A and B are shown apart, each in its own frame.
Chain A
Amino acid sequence: MKVLYSWLKDFVDVADGPAEVGRRLSLRGLALEGLEPVGAGEMPPGAAPVADDAVLDFDVTANRPDCLSVVGIAREIATVYGLPLRVPATDAPGYLRLAGLAPVDRATFGVRLDAPDLCPRFAGAAAAVRVGPSPAWMQRRLQALGVRPISNIVDITNYVMLELGQPMHAFDEARLSGDIVVRQARSGETIVTLDGRTRAVQPPQLLVTDTTRAVAVGGVMGGLDSEVTEGTTRIVFEAAWWHPRSIRATSKALGLKTEASTRFERGADPTLQAVAAARACALLELIGAGTADGTIVDVVAAPHAPRVVALTHAHVEGLLGMPVPPAEVARILTSLGFGVAADGPGAWQVEVPGWRPDVARPQDLIEEVGRHHGFEHLPATFPPVHPAPPPSDPRIARDAVARRAMLAMGYSETISFAFVEAAAAEPFAGADGLVTLANPLSETFAVMRPSVLPGVVDAVSHNRRHGRRDVRVFEIATAFGPRGERRMLAAAWTGAAAGDHWSGHRRDVDLFDLTGSLEVLAGAYGVALALDTDAPPYLVPGRAARVVRQGTAVGACGLLDPAVAERRGIPRADAADVYLLELDLDAIAAAAPPGATRVEPLPRFPSAVRDVSLLVDDTLSAATVRDTIRRAAPPTLVSLREFDRYQGKGVPAGKVSVSLRLTFRADDRTLTDDDVASAMGAVIEAARAALGAEQR
């Protein structure tokens, strides 16, 4: 809301200049968004010129329709500075005068309200007018607030709206036939609004009509053929109250947002209609634009019943946590226009003025007291600590384990959007399908990611396109499916397996770097994970696997299909393979045992290490060889690991030489050479018998 400093001074004698006023209001709830000095200009007759005049632009929050008016902001200033507020009155000086209008049941026109629940009050006052331009001071004020001057009559309606917050309308009385009726639109009805557009209206939208046709979309915009023109000689000023819900719905349905609809949909003052009409009539006479008839037809279907809210001093200080003297509570509320009546010691009955639809509860009043007493007076204290809140979300500590492991393995952490484009999501979609958005911001963000892999693939793509060949990244985030949200770990690794070093040659990442990462993660969580060759479709068969725990898939691992990589913009030219890893952390956590509760004692007896090289068929899996050995070995075999695998010179075609390191240990004695030799003999014999393995 823009407001002219000199206009504010009609209502409050503030001594501070506009910048200081803006600064002080910003700390009391009206944030100053802009300040434009404009210098002295024309003033209404009788008002003193203001040399340092300026336009202040305040950000008015949605709950404060009263501050969409000059007098509303002036009221805040008066409260901040402890100054009295001047309001228009019948005995006020010329530029603040209200006309005295005698209430009548009908004047040259009558008023009927056929939708009293949505338009419970309608005031009309007629006048004889001479249409022409409005005076310079009025035009200056309207322009400063962003409203274009049109004619003296229209300018008066806008002036009253900006000054008091009550939107008004002026009809050419000659173009009205019969009484004014406020009713719901009929199906198929149309009206040409002031902007020249024909609008189809329908129930329950509200119209102002005469006996023949619609003359205005109530509270939103007037009709074209009853508008005030140069030839108009008599007018009817309208000041009505429209229900916010009705105006919001109508404005939205018609796609028509006006200064009037904005004020009505937030909630105008339901007590202000006769005052606004009297103000318009006084201004008409002040600027010599005509003469009011001196009567008002003010139809009130349901009088506004002011809310009364009980407030206690203990509640004020109890909610704010700072002392505010009772006299200060009363001063602030009174200054803001609340009716404050003592109700025993430290208690009040507070009547809420019509312009404060936002205030319904004591907490609302406490906010008024708090902000005007000043949040700067709040002490900084701590809430009482209760020692044992319920446990925190176990995912936090759980995810931190994976994060630490991945960082230690050289993966950098990325964060990507939960929304992806359908093309990015589709390769990774599960059997359940995708979760799509009904109203995406754009096609780029049309679906919720079914997996976190699209994010890390795009991270690879971005870095590749910016000259970075070696990329090792991970993300821990949520994937979305029709059956809910899952917390996933996704990783991508491409390019070098380790940084270049002068002492040796580089090696590019391969699948075993990824399965190794998986082994580290399985170890970190204390779960057993297996690999199943049935790989998901976005990975290259034979170079990929599903990660399985007890028969259930919990992830995937392998080489990204180059076609998918290319579609995500990863340049094919540098031909570096992209390896991916994804793990369902929710599934892993469900399986993970609680952390170790005691430490294993260190072995008391030494272990014996033996290496053996076996020549086996190269189609035989390492797991088969290991399992065969494990079955044949005595329980003293504590570890078994491949340390070399060789094919080439000296090894027949179709065979592979596998070197294994076996560690034996007993808990109760030192193993003798004979013990170990017999164990090795059993192992080698079993490999020979079961696998046809030859010792090399």
Chain B
Amino acid sequence: MPTLDELTSRIAEQDAAFSAALAELDAALPAARAHALDALKVAWTGRKSGRIADLMALLPSLPAADRKVFGQRVNALKQRVEAALADRETAVAATRRPAGAVDLTLPGRRPQLGHRHPLSLVREEVQQIFTLGYQVLEGPECEDDWHNFEALNMHEEHPARDMQDTLYLASPVTAAPRAPWARPRRRGPRAAAAHPAPHAHLGDADPLHGAARSPVPWCDRPGLPARQPRPHAPPMFHRCEGLVVGKGITLAHLKGTLLAMAEALFGAGTSVRFRPSFFPYTEPSAEVDVRCIRCAGAGCAVCKQTGWLEILGSGMVHPAVFEAVGYDPDEVTGFAFGMGIERVALLKWDVGDIRLFYENDLRFLEQFSL
């Protein structure tokens, strides 16, 4: 005949088993619990073969004196089981959709919206930064020799004019539609230089109209990469260029303008740094860095531990450029800058590979919204 202690230990075993079953139920997805809960109820509280009933069936095997105690202990377990199951029942019921109600977890009918290309987004952002007080222009993409080099103080012997540094068209083309708002070109046959981009550019020397004012053409055009093609280097990139001409324009004005642009592009608190450099069409010239937008200057892989990111070339318009387009460099000064749109986009979104911009892979493009 089993003793009370022996049978009590079986109650304890079942108690532990129930805790485990309950934990398993709680781990299931809420909406998937209903089925498991039904099974649990049958297994534990079923009249005939439920585990509680099985324990109760042991009662007659105990000496009469122990039965009351044993019965109380089984009942305690039974109450715990029933309370726990009732509690889960309420929770499961709450997840059931009322009859007739729509299942809102089904996907909605989503109209397809197009996605913006990141280079287009940056270009538009820059255009918007220069809305007030600036004239925003888009330049021709194939440029003639005079506009591309001569007027920009890059005379015949300038190394950039080598065949290996500039792409040339095989035969001259008709003047690109320099649109009615730009004045006719001053001189220079339309020879045929496709735009060499690596050399920062004033853009077109032409749109310097209205000397006393400070019109600011802004151009963007694809350009071509420097020097010999490197494997995997894209054959072109996009630029935006700024120019302010007027009386009393200073290098400090350039700094203020570029700081404002950097803050608009990369967020308030961005700082810029000017490093002296050299371009044939500006004097003085400066490369401009922004404080690393990834590490805020602490040093990281993106900025190669320097805390700064080079974003553009700039400077004060070279007097020879003014002379080439018929301005008196003693009367007016000006600043100019040229920035690669790809460079900004690479930094802004931490794009790891520049080729992503031209593959037009929808998995990439769909990460950019309207």
Contact = CB atoms under 8 A, between A and B. Distances in A.
A436 B370 CA distance: 36
Contact of A438 (B110, B169, B238, B359): B169
A414 interface: yes
Nearest to A382: B256
Contacts of B157: 245, 248
A478 B141 CA distance: 8
14 contacts: A366-B283, A367-B284, A375-B275, A389-B134, A393-B137, A394-B181, A407-B115, A412-B114, A413-B120, A414-B365, A439-B168, A480-B173, A484-B177, A485-B141
Contact of A412 (B235, B253, B365): B365
Contact of A413 (B235, B275, B278, B365): B365
B57 interface: no
Interface in B135-163: 135-138, 140-142, 157, 159, 163
Contacts of B114: 406-413, 472, 474
B65 interface: no
A62 B174 contact: no
B256 to A, nearest CB: 4
A629 to B, nearest CB: 33
Contact of A319 (B113, B250, B255, B276): B250
A354 to B, nearest CB: 19
Nearest to A386: B213
A378 B274 contact: yes
A387 B107 CA distance: 51
A329 to B, nearest CB: 14
B127 A390 contact: no
Given A363-B284, A386-B133, A320 B120 contact: no
Given A29-B275, A390-B209, A407-B114, A417 B235 contact: yes
Interface string A227-259: 000000000000000000100100000000000
Nearest to B167: A437
Interchain residue pairs A-B with the least CB separation, the first 10:
A321-B250, A321-B252, A367-B284, A410-B112, A29-B276, A61-B278, A375-B274, A371-B276, A407-B114, A459-B360
A379 B115 contact: no
A463 B229 CA distance: 26
Nearest to B366: A412
B18 interface: no
A63 interface: yes
A305 interface: no
A392 B137 contact: yes
B73 interface: no
B58 to A, nearest CB: 54
B268 interface: no
A586 B285 CA distance: 37
Main secondary structure of the interface of B (DSSP, over half): loop
Interface string B344-370: 000000000000011111110110001
B112 A419 contact: no
Contacts of B358: 415-417
B170 A413 contact: no
A498 B236 contact: no
Given A319-B251, A415-B357, A462-B359, A472 B278 contact: no
Contact of A441 (B214, B229, B250, B255): B229
A486 B115 CA distance: 24
B159 A448 contact: no
Given A483-B174, A484-B176, A501-B109, A442 B229 contact: yes
B246 interface: yes
A384 B238 CA distance: 29
Interface in B232-255: 234-236, 238, 244, 246, 248-253, 255
A382 B214 contact: no
Contacts, number: 275
A458 B255 CA distance: 42
Nearest to B194: A437
Given A366-B284, A375-B276, A407-B116, A320 B361 contact: no
A64 interface: yes
A321 B316 CA distance: 11
Contact of B286 (A375, A380, A393): A375
Residue among B174, B225, B357 with the highest chain A CB neighbour number at 10 A: B174
Contacts of B360: 414-416, 455, 458-459, 462-463, 473
Interface residues of B, number: 97
A407 B111 contact: no
A120 interface: no
B138 A319 contact: no
B253 A321 contact: yes
Nearest to B278: A61
Nearest to B209: A390
Contacts of B319: 361, 363
Interface in B70-91: none
Contacts of A442: 229
A344 interface: no
Given A27-B276, A436-B171, A484-B173, 14 more contacts: A321-B255, A363-B284, A382-B256, A389-B135, A393-B181, A413-B116, A413-B365, A416-B360, A417-B235, A437-B170, A438-B163, A463-B362, A485-B140, A499-B110
Given A361-B319, A370-B276, A387-B133, A407 B370 contact: yes
A320 B229 contact: no
B362 to A, nearest CB: 5
Residue among B142, B194, B284, B363 with the highest chain A CB neighbour number at 10 A: B284
A364 interface: yes
A485 B256 contact: no
Contacts of B278: 29, 61-64
A505 interface: no
Given A248-B157, A435-B169, A466-B361, A445 B274 contact: no
A502 interface: yes
B252 A322 contact: yes
B181 A378 contact: no
Contacts of A414: 117, 360, 365
Nearest to A439: B163
A383 interface: yes
B277 interface: yes
B312 interface: no
B284 A376 contact: no
A695 to B, nearest CB: 37
A31 B229 CA distance: 24
B33 interface: no
Interface in A18-41: 26-29, 31
A339 to B, nearest CB: 21
A370 B276 CA distance: 9
Contacts of A382: 253, 256-257, 260
A132 interface: no
B361 A364 contact: no
B215 interface: yes
Given A389-B134, A417-B358, A466-B361, A485 B169 contact: no
Given A396-B136, A484-B174, A502-B106, A28 B169 contact: no
B244 to A, nearest CB: 5
B133 A363 contact: no
B173 to A, nearest CB: 5
A472 B177 contact: no
B23 interface: no
A641 interface: no
Contacts of A379: 252, 255-256
Contacts of B110: 499
A320 B251 contact: yes
Contact of B214 (A62, A383, A499): A383
B163 to A, nearest CB: 5
Contacts of B141: 418, 478, 480, 485
A671 B283 CA distance: 76
A480 B284 contact: no
B365 A384 contact: no
B316 to A, nearest CB: 6
A392 B159 contact: no
A523 interface: no
